[in-house]
């Protein structure tokens, strides 16, 4: 019986972790999109340093989103 409970417990944990990573991935993609749109909207008023900082933030958020997606995909394969 404990093996059955372990399987159920593992399935629930995996589901919770997948939901959490999906939410984080969406948040990071949204933040990256906001950074890009900010540069498109007010880019002329931004200093070169601000533009670079915005581009770096966008890249950081996209990378974090990919990490969250990768964690979810690895978890699905196990």
Give the predicted TM-score (pTM) of the model.
0.82
Six token digits for residue 12: 């629930």
CB 67 within 8 A of CB 29: no
- Residues 54-73 pLDDT 10s: 999 999 999 999 999 999 99
Six token digits for residue 50: 């601000």
The angle subtended at Cα 16 by Cα 28 and Cα 14, nearest 5°, is: 110
Residue located via tokens 């966008």: 58
Six token digits for residue 66: 């990919």
Q: Where are the domains of the chain?
A: 14-77
Query: With the CA atoms of 16, 19, 21 and 24 taken in that order, what torsion angle do they form, in degrees rounded to the nearest 10?
Result: -130
- Residues 6-53 pLDDT 10s: 889 888 999 999 999 999 999 999 999 999 999 999 989 999 999 999
């Amino acid at each position: 019986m404990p093996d059955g409970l372990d399987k159920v417990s593992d399935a629930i944990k995996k589901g919770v972790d997948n939901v959490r990573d999906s939410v984080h991935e969406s948040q990071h993609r949204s933040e990256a999109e906001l950074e890009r749109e900010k540069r498109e909207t007010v880019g002329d008023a931004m200093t070169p340093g601000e533009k670079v900082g915005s581009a770096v933030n966008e890249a950081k958020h996209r990378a974090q989103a990919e990490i969250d997606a990768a964690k979810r995909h690895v978890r699905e394969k196990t």
